[in-house]
Structure 1
Amino acid sequence: MVPGVSTRLTTPRLVNTLAVFGIAPFLIALSLPESWSLTVFKLYSTAILCFLSGSWWSTALVSTRHDAPNRWFVMLLSNLAVLLAVLLAWLDHSLTIPGLATLYVLLLLGEQRLSVFSRQPNYYQQMRQWVTGIVVLLHLFAWWTLNEAGTSWH
Structure 2
Amino acid sequence: MDSSGYQQPVVDTRLFDILAYLGLCPFVIGLLLQIAEASLLGIDARLFFSAYSAVILSFLCGIWWGGALNRPGHPHRIALVFLSNLVALAGWIGLLLYQSAWGLPILAIGFAFVAWMEARLNPNLPGREQYFRTRSIVTYFVIACHLGMMLLS
User: TM-score of the superposition, structure 2-length normalised?
Assistant: 0.81
**How far apart, CA to CA, are the structure 1 residues paired with 2:127 and 2:54?**
23
Give the equivalent residue in structure 1 for 2:57: 49
Query: Is there any run of 5+ residues in structure 1 with no aligned partner, and where?
Result: 1-9, 147-154
Kindly state the Cα deviation for residue 29 of structure 1 after the two structures are TM-superposed: 1.5
Which of 111, 120, 123 does residue 104 from structure 1 map onto? Answer: 111
Any idea what SS the aligned residue of 2:126 has?
coil
Kindly state the Cα deviation for residue 16 of structure 1 after the two structures are TM-superposed: 1.6
1:71 equivalent in alignment to 2:77: yes
Kindly state the Cα deviation for residue 116 of structure 1 after the two structures are TM-superposed: 3.5
User: TM-score of the superposition, structure 1-length normalised?
Assistant: 0.80
Residue-by-residue CA offset, 1:67-123 (whole Å, 9 max, x unaligned): 5xx312211100000111101110242021122111101001111101544636101
Identity among equivalent pairs (%): 32
What is the aligned length? 135
Instruction: Say which structure is richer in helix.
Output: 1
- Residues 16-25 or 88-97, more deviating: 88-97
- Residues 81-90 or 120-129, more deviating: 120-129
**How far apart, CA to CA, are the structure 1 residues paired with 2:83 and 2:16?**
24
Answer whether contact 2:30 2:49 (CA < 8 A) is retained: yes
Kindly state the Cα deviation for residue 12 of structure 1 after the two structures are TM-superposed: 2.4
Any idea what SS the aligned residue of 2:113 has?
helix
- Residues 55-64 or 125-134, more deviating: 55-64
Kindly state the Cα deviation for residue 28 of structure 1 after the two structures are TM-superposed: 1.1
Distance 1:59 1:31, change over 3 A: same
Give the equivalent residue in structure 1 for 2:47: 39
Amino acid at match of 1:85: G
Give the equivalent residue in structure 2 for 1:27: 28
Instruction: Calculate the aligned-residue CA RMSD, in Å.
Output: 1.9
Distance 1:120 1:132, change over 3 A: farther
Distance 1:61 1:11, change over 3 A: same
Answer whether contact 1:46 1:100 (CA < 8 A) is retained: yes
Amino acid at match of 1:78: S
Any idea what SS the aligned residue of 2:44 has?
helix
Answer whether contact 1:112 1:118 (CA < 8 A) is retained: no
Give the equivalent residue in structure 2 for 1:4: none
**How far apart, CA to CA, are the structure 2 residues paired with 1:26 and 1:41?**
6
